[in-house]
């Protein structure tokens, strides 16, 4: 059985599916690993390091994709420069493990099904204790939260910490974090380490204690509806709740030096939380980093992939932040894949046990069918909006 690691072709993607250390672990288990030549280059892992770990380096992309039993990737498959599609290079019955953005791009899932590929979406790993080691959304969100604070600190024309110097006392920066999930909590911890005063808000009241335990103040907003959906994720709330939230957070946005927004609702456009009016009220020199930029943005002024300056307020909408730290992002992602592979493999052979909730929830296509109800709903929604 061959497990292959593809070289990413997405321009902004510097991560790689396996790093030499995880290759060595799989080789030790008796698995044959193929790595596409140059796959780890942008994450600083050389072909030589993969070869030393026991991988076979493959220069022929078509051979790697066409002969793999299991293909490992980071970004969803896409079209190549020559117009061919990566998916079409897979053989029928091959297994693909990758981020697939299945709710945002259900047509890709449909294409994988029609190609008879068994595809596992890393976004669909259940948020259970047993699956924690495979949770790639968390491992990558944590990196994004950390990096967002560094970007904000670099853009802020001020210190973060309180300083007492011979030239006077410097007041600490005030940071307001909106959305206290995995990215938000890491952002709180990082901003605190840099010495800022931190406030945070989330519509899930359950995160209050976690926020406080990291040394931040929790901003409470009383909403008259359930805000938590199945699996512990946030729900999309009513217009009334959205308005109440905006009113409640406006004062905190106004006084903040840095606002970091991370609010998301799976499968939906990101909620708009920071309005143009709020940005207009902020002090010149303040910075907003919008981690939801790719999902539509939490700030009305966000332009994904660009820095926008309005009345002296800089609004940064970064794209694929985990890829900007490709060594550690690849290291933890490779560990996530390794853990999932341990569930998929038995005695060096593929064991697709759909009774196992990890396999059942994560597998989006098998034997020509789309297996995930939410992806089918998303496809139906698309065809309804076309007709």
Among the options 75, 89, 98, 138, which is catalytic? 138
In the complex, what is the shortest distance from the CB of residue 266 to ligand NAD, in angstroms, rounded to a whole number?
Answer: 5
Q: Stretches 9-17, 167-175, 182-190, 377-385: which one binds ligand NAD (CB under 6 A)?
A: 182-190
Place of tokens 């600190």: 153
Among the options 42, 91, 127, 204, which is catalytic? 127
Is there a contact between 177 and 200 (Cβ–Cβ < 8 Å)? yes
If binding is defined by CB under 6 A, does position 137 make contact with ligand NAD? yes
Interface with ligand NAD (CB under 6 A), residue from 102, 267, 271, 297? 271
Cα(73)–Cα(6) distance, integer angstroms: 6
Number of residues that bind ligand NAD (CB under 6 A): 29
Is there a contact between 201 and 249 (Cβ–Cβ < 8 Å)? yes
If binding is defined by CB under 6 A, does position 130 make contact with ligand NAD? no
**Which of 293, 251, 289 is closest to 272 using CA atoms?**
293
Within 8 A by CB and 6+ apart from 385, the residues are: none
Q: Does 138 participate in catalysis according to the annotation?
A: yes
Question: Strands across the sheet with 307-310, in order?
Answer: 217-218, 197-201, 174-178, 258-261, 287-290, 313-316, 307-310
3-state percent helix, strand, coil for the chain, nearest multiple of 5: 40, 20, 40
**Which of 43, 99, 104, 16 is closest to 292 using CA atoms?**
104
Q: Does 135 participate in catalysis according to the annotation?
A: yes
Q: Stretches 21-29, 178-186, 317-325, 343-351: which one binds ligand NAD (CB under 6 A)?
A: 178-186
If binding is defined by CB under 6 A, does position 273 make contact with ligand NAD? yes
Phi then psi for residue 40, to 5 deg, are -100, 0
Cα(342)–Cα(340) distance, integer angstroms: 5
Interface with ligand NAD (CB under 6 A), residue from 266, 275, 307, 324? 266
Alpha helices in 75-181 (DSSP H): 106-114, 136-155
In the complex, what is the shortest distance from the CB of residue 231 to ligand NAD, in angstroms, rounded to a whole number?
Answer: 7
159/233 with CB nearer ligand NAD: 233
DSSP H or E stretch at residue 370: strand 369-370
- Integer angstrom CA distances of residue 214 from 89, 192, 206, 208: 47, 8, 14, 10
- Residue with the closest Cβ to ligand NAD? 181
Cα(176)–Cα(192) distance, integer angstroms: 11
Interface with ligand NAD (CB under 6 A), residue from 20, 181, 318, 326? 181
Task: Provide the mask over 210-239, with x wherever binding to ligand NAD is found by CB under 6 A and - wherever it is not.
Answer: ----------------------xxx-----
Q: Stretches 51-59, 112-120, 148-156, 257-265: which one binds ligand NAD (CB under 6 A)?
A: 257-265
The tokens for 377 are 């709903």
Query: What's the count of helices (H) and strands (E) in the chain, helices before strands?
Result: 12, 19
Among the options 50, 121, 135, 323, which is catalytic? 135
Task: Provide the mask over 100-129, with x wherever binding to ligand NAD is found by CB under 6 A and - wherever it is not.
Answer: ---------------------------xx-
If binding is defined by CB under 6 A, does position 264 make contact with ligand NAD? yes
Q: Does 127 participate in catalysis according to the annotation?
A: yes
- Compute and round to an integer the Cα radius of gyration of the chain: 22
Q: Stretches 56-64, 136-144, 166-174, 278-286: which one binds ligand NAD (CB under 6 A)?
A: 136-144
Q: Does 385 participate in catalysis according to the annotation?
A: no
In the complex, what is the shortest distance from the CB of residue 105 to ligand NAD, in angstroms, rounded to a whole number?
Answer: 17
Restricted to residues 305-334, the positions that interact with ligand NAD (CB under 6 A) are: none
The tokens for 249 are 């957070």
If binding is defined by CB under 6 A, does position 290 make contact with ligand NAD? no
If binding is defined by CB under 6 A, does position 204 make contact with ligand NAD? yes
Residues labelled as active-site residues: 127, 132, 135, 138, 233
* Residues engaged in binding ligand NAD (CB under 6 A): 127-128, 132, 135, 137-138, 141, 178-184, 201-204, 232-234, 245, 262-266, 271, 273
């Amino acid at each position: 059985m061959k497990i292959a690691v593809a070289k990413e072709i997405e321009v902004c993607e510097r991560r790689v599916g396996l790093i030499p250390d995880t290759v060595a672990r799989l080789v030790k288990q008796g698995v044959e690993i193929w790595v596409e030549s140059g796959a780890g280059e942008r994450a600083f892992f050389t072909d030589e390091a993969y070869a030393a770990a026991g991988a076979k380096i493959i220069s022929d992309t078509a051979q790697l994709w066409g002969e793999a039993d299991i293909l490992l990737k980071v970004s969803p498959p896409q079209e190549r420069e020559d117009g061919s599609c990566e998916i079409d290079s897979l053989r029928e019955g091959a297994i693909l493990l990758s981020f697939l953005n299945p709710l945002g791009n259900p047509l890709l899932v449909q294409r994988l099904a029609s190609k008879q590929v068994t595809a596992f979406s890393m976004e669909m790993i259940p948020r259970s204790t047993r699956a924690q080691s495979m949770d790639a959304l968390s491992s990558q969100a944590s990196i994004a939260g950390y990096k967002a604070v560094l970007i904000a600190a670099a853009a802020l024309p001020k210190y973060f910490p309180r300083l007492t110097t011979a030239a006077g006392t410097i007041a600490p920066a005030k940071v307001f974090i909106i959305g206290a999930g995995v990215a938000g909590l890491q952002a709180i911890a990082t901003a605190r380490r840099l010495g800022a005063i931190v406030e945070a808000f989330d519509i899930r009241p359950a995160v209050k204690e976690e926020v406080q335990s990291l040394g931040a103040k929790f901003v409470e907003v009383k909403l008259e509806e359930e805000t938590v959906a199945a699996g512990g994720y946030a729900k999309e709330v009513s217009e009334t709740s959205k308005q109440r939230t905006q009113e409640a957070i406006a004062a905190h946005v106004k006084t903040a030096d840095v606002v970091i927004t991370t609010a998301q609702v799976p499968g939906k456009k990101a909620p708009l939380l920071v309005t143009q009016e709020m940005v207009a009220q902020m002090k010149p020199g303040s910075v907003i980093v919008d981690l939801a930029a790719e999902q539509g943005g939490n700030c009305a002024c966000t332009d994904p992939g660009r820095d926008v300056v309005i009345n002296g307020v800089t609004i940064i909408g970064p794209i694929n932040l985990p890829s900007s730290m490709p060594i550690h992002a690849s290291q933890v992602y490779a560990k996530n894949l390794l853990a999932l592979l341990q569930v998929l493999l038995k005695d060096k052979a593929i064991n697709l046990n759909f009774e196992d909730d990890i396999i059942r929830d994560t597998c989006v296509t098998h034997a020509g069918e789309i297996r995930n109800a939410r992806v089918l709903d998303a496809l139906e929604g698309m065809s309804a909006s076309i007709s």
